[in-house]
Amino acid sequence: MSLPKFSSAVDVEAVLSSPLFTPPAAPETITGHLATLRSEMARFSDGTTHAARRADVEESITRLNDAAVRTDAQRRAAGVLDGVRVDAVADLGFVIPTQTLATALGVPAEDLNALRSDVTAVVEVIGRQMPASAEANNAAGQLLQRFAEHPSGPVAPISLLYQNHDATAALLGSVVLASHEGTKRRSALARTVRVATATEIIADTRIDAGTTVELDLESSGYEFGVGPHHCPGRVLAQEIVAGIKAALDSAGYRVIEALVERHPDGRARSIPMEAV
């Protein structure tokens, strides 16, 4: 059975702003360090618990310099380009944002590859719902240990890296494609879901407790969310993407249209580019 789906700005905002709709619970297969990390992330919390945890994330963000982040992203992207063919998603989107944000969070240069591997492993399980593995559980443990002394606690900086990973890569892809096609940029994120904790009426539709609803972020115009869970790292993501795009433009890179791969909804899966 398909999920109830809401697409209008009014309906999506009603769901995302309501305390009666919460993020889905963690799958029972997520245990150990993964379970600990997920259970303490603001993204998956609600009410006063969410407010306190989100405040920690926002505090972590205030410690970062937006302009410095953009400059660093541009520098790193320029170092990757150097005239060679690249995939804007795989080679830049899934690499540069994590390196840039981790550096801003104080991770030493020699640890960046290991950290990126850990973040990717955690994202695959918690974010992409891949089967939990010993490797991913170990990665979560290593991240918790790495940021144990962070002023905002370990989960806040990990949350930034987690939320940055897929979302910023998707944002870069949408920016690059829109520039290439000369069209309005599509929403980087297509959808999100919430679970009703009590019976509620949305757009004359009865939603019973326990029902999962799908929210169309593109049609509603809420790419970065709305309400208590709206994206706290929006500016950071935009600055990182702006830095990468500036490097691509400065180096004269263009999209190889014939090689672009897309998801069924038209969003980019792979965007090969080369200097011209």
User: Does a structural domain hold residue 208?
Assistant: no
Identify the CATH number of the domain in which residue 172 sits.
Answer: 1.10.630.10
Token output for 75? 């520098």
Q: Give per-residue pLDDT as tens, 5-43.
A: 999 999 999 999 999 999 999 988 899 999 999 999 999
| Residue 139 neighbours by CB under 8 Å, 6+ apart | 117, 118, 119, 121, 122
User: Does a structural domain hold residue 7?
Assistant: no
Q: Give per-residue pLDDT as tens, 127-155.
A: 999 999 999 999 999 999 999 999 999 99
Count of positions (residues) in the chain:
276
The model scores a pTM over 0.75: yes
> For position 92, what pLDDT does the model report?
98
Q: How many CB atoms within 10 Å of residue 129?
A: 12
Q: Would the pLDDT of 274 be above 70?
A: yes
Q: Would the pLDDT of 126 be above 90?
A: yes
Alpha-carbon span 267 to 243, nearest angstrom: 21
- Please tell me which residue, 3 or 111, carries the higher pLDDT value: 111
User: Does a structural domain hold residue 43?
Assistant: yes
User: Does a structural domain hold residue 32?
Assistant: yes
pLDDT band at 3 (very low <50, low <70, confident <90, very high): confident
Q: Would the pLDDT of 1 be above 90?
A: no
pLDDT band at 2 (very low <50, low <70, confident <90, very high): confident
User: Does a structural domain hold residue 91?
Assistant: yes
Write out the residue range of the structural domain in which residue 247 sits: 25-178+226-275
Q: Which of 66, 63, 62, 98 is nearest to 236 (CA)?
A: 66
User: Does a structural domain hold residue 15?
Assistant: no
Q: Which of 58, 67, 53, 161 is nearest to 106 (CA)?
A: 161
User: Does a structural domain hold residue 183?
Assistant: no
- Please tell me which residue, 3 or 207, carries the higher pLDDT value: 207
User: Does a structural domain hold residue 6?
Assistant: no
For the segment 75-94, the average pLDDT, to the nearest whole number, is 96
Q: Give per-residue pLDDT as tens, 236-245.
A: 999 999 999 9
Q: Give per-residue pLDDT as tens, 213-244.
A: 999 999 999 999 999 999 999 999 999 999 99
Number of domains in the chain: 1
DSSP string of 154-187, one letter each residue: SHHHHHHHHHHHHHHHHHHHHHHHHHHHTSPPPP
